[in-house]
Amino acid sequence: MVRAIPGPGGPLTVRIYRPRDALRAALVYFHGGGWVVGSLDSADGTCRALTNRSRCVVISIGYRLAPETKFPGPVEDAYAATRWVADNAADLRIDPTRVAVGGASAGGNLAAAVALLARERGGPKIAFQLLTVPVTELRSTARSTDEFAEGYGLTRADMEWYGSHYIASDAERDHPYASVLRADLHGMPPAFVITAECDPLRDDGEAYAERLSKLGIAARYKRYPGMFHGFMSFPGVLPEAAEAFDDAGAAMREALG
């Protein structure tokens, strides 16, 4: 089902996936694409896989894209959509205390930023974060950023290009809603972070899960050997991608079921 919901810059389009025998829980999902590209259609296969494996209602969000809408516009869209899901829980047939946020790459960045905003603005309650190959740092000095800077799909130059379109000023790269690894993570929701061995974003994604864990938050990551940034786009070809979806579904059922 596709519908329009209110957003801070005008209506946002969302697509709602409901499995048979659905749990009364929801995942608000943000597609990847470096904040510049991607759509509800590009995330359709991922959302169907997550819906079937988790038994949760999945609401995919069509947020505004850069460079027309720069930071923090997409963050505010993502937060407004999550707030709408919680406020309309009865209509969606979900429990408003069992709402998770999730996304891939830049979408994972938005999901973590929404969890920060929800904590700071007094709601809605976010029960879980599902972050797949997320962007957590826009000034990365991690070893994986250098080791896999080129030749593995997503490159360091790509990330610089995406960031330059998303961020209006260099100083904003340090903002905790942009580089979520720099945020105060006390009181954040539990998380499962999926990383790929040959991804320049790997180490910063894993560092995010480790920081949560050190604060006593139930968070973990799983690294998929030999995989590249976009590996989960190929579950019919790569056994590791199918395994990652299975793991994500199991993590959601455990956290939300």
- Does residue 229 have an active-site annotation? yes
Residue whose structure tokens are 């260099």:
170
For Cα atoms 201, 146, 159, give the angle at the middle one, nearest 5 degrees: 50
Residue 236 structure tokens: 């019919």
Q: Pick the catalytic residue from 144, 175, 199, 203.
A: 199
Q: Shortest CA distance to 146 belongs to which of 188, 100, 203?
A: 203
Do 193 and 223 contact (CB within 8 A), yes or no? no
Do 124 and 82 contact (CB within 8 A), yes or no? yes
Decide: helix, strand or coil at residue 53. helix
Q: Pick the catalytic residue from 54, 60, 105, 140.
A: 105
Do 16 and 59 contact (CB within 8 A), yes or no? yes
- Does residue 105 have an active-site annotation? yes
Residue 176 structure tokens: 């905790």
Asked if residue 124 has a cis previous peptide bond (ω within 30° of 0), the answer is: yes
Do 133 and 193 contact (CB within 8 A), yes or no? no
Length of the chain measured in residues: 257
Task: Please tell me the distance from the alpha carbon of residue 31 to that of residue 34, in angstroms, as a whole number.
Answer: 9
- Does residue 199 have an active-site annotation? yes
Residue whose structure tokens are 């029960």:
127
Q: Pick the catalytic residue from 31, 165, 175, 229.
A: 229
Which residues are known catalytic residues?
105, 199, 229
